[in-house]
Structure 1
């Protein structure tokens, strides 16, 4: 089985709820899952990770949630080699913000790619307007994502 770190970016708690749901389900399947609710370069410990799932909402007009900014800025500044990591992204957003829909997930996706991490599958973008239960969509996506690892 696999060891997965889920890095959470959240303001209202929806991304945290999705991460915890994934933690429960993937744990039942025999995977080891660690949810990191306030990720920064130290707590994320990316140098020792092989599989990372980024689960983040978008705040305001396309901004990263406050709790994941330290990780993003730390990675931007230090530019570590993440080529040993395979990752996926679950992005939560609101399509009424057409220009910045799921922008935080897109920012994290782009940064991990720039740092050499290998993206597995397509980014899941969940629209709060059409999907009131984001955990259900995330569970279905995660099942397919795991098969690609």
Structure 2
């Protein structure tokens, strides 16, 4: 099956919960899955995966979670060639912050696109106000996403 990395950008644990639910579902479907939360090694985490799912929450005033900033900044600065990479984005946010709703996920989406990666399907944007259990919505999304790979 497919080698899929799940990149997690999280502050409060919701994006991690989503990643773990996706890991369980993808593993059940016999995909080779790796959850990655540590991006201190920069661009090295991009190697060796057929597909990447970014599960990223937004905090503060539209900011990236601290743990994923090193990857975002390295990609923005070095612009690696990711033309062979397929990816998807699950962005978590709160619509009461309408100006910055899911901004971190949008920022990660933009940097992957700028590096030539091919987004598969639509970006899933989950509102914490209406969907307190984002993992359920993510499971439905990933089933459709897999069909598009």
TM-score by length of structure 1 reads 0.96
Q: 2:145 matched to which residue of 1?
A: 145
Contact 1:7 1:44 in 2 (8 A): no
Q: 2:15 matched to which residue of 1?
A: 15
Aligned counterparts of 1:109 and 1:13: Cα–Cα separation in 2: 20
Give how far 1:48 is off.
2.5
Say whether residues 1:33 and 2:33 are aligned partners: yes
Give how far 1:79 is off.
1.0
Aligned counterparts of 1:139 and 1:71: Cα–Cα separation in 2: 25
Contact 2:42 2:70 in 1 (8 A): no
RMSD, matched Cα: 1.2
Aligned counterparts of 2:47 and 2:80: Cα–Cα separation in 1: 9
Contact 1:10 1:57 in 2 (8 A): yes
What residue ranges of structure 2 are gaps of 5+ in the alignment? none
Contact 1:41 1:74 in 2 (8 A): no
After TM superposition, what 4+ stretches of structure 1 lie above 3 angstroms from structure 2? 40-44
Q: 2:121 matched to which residue of 1?
A: 121
Cα distance per residue 1:83-141 (max 9 Å; x no partner): 01000000000000000000000000011001100010000000000001100000000
Q: 2:89 matched to which residue of 1?
A: 89
Aligned counterparts of 1:4 and 1:15: Cα–Cα separation in 2: 16
Give how far 1:75 is off.
0.8
Aligned counterparts of 2:48 and 2:11: Cα–Cα separation in 1: 27
Aligned counterparts of 1:86 and 1:40: Cα–Cα separation in 2: 22
Give how far 1:76 is off.
1.1
Aligned counterparts of 2:110 and 2:43: Cα–Cα separation in 1: 21
Aligned counterparts of 1:46 and 1:40: Cα–Cα separation in 2: 12
Distance change >3 Å, CA 44–CA 140, structure 1 → 2: farther
TM-score by length of structure 2 reads 0.96
Give how far 1:77 is off.
1.3
